[in-house]
Amino acid sequence: MTDSERVQNAVLRSMSRANRFGQSSMAESVETDILPDDGSYLMKISIGTPPVERWAVADTGSDLIWFQCKPCPQPQCYGQKAPLFDPRNSSTYMSLSCRSLPCNALPRHYVQGQTYPRCGSSNVCTYFYSYGDNSYTMGELATESVSFDRNVLFPKTAFGCGHNDNGLFNENDAGLVGLGQGSLSLVSQMGKVGHKFSYCLPPYSPKTTTKLRFGEAATISGNGLVSTPLITKNGSLSLFYFVNLEGITVGKQTVRTGQSNGNIFIDSGTTLTMLPSSFYEQIEALVKQAIGANQFIVQNNHYKLCYRNANSIQNFPNFEVHFTGANLSLKPQNFFRRISNDVICFAMLPTDGMPIYGNVAQIDFEVEHDLDRKKVSFAPADCTKQ
Separation of CA 88 from chain center: 29
Separation of CA 151 from chain center: 24
Residues ≥6 apart with Cβ < 8 Å to 312: none
**Cβ-contact 293, 313 below 8 angstroms:** yes
Q: Which residues of 249-267 are buried (b: 16+ CB within 10 A; e: fewer)?
A: bbeeeebebeeeebbbbbb
Task: Tell me which residues are annotated as active site.
Answer: 59, 267
Report CA-CA distances (Å) from 333 to 339, 347, 359.
12, 9, 11
Quick count: other Cβ atoms within 10 Å of Cβ 127? Answer: 25
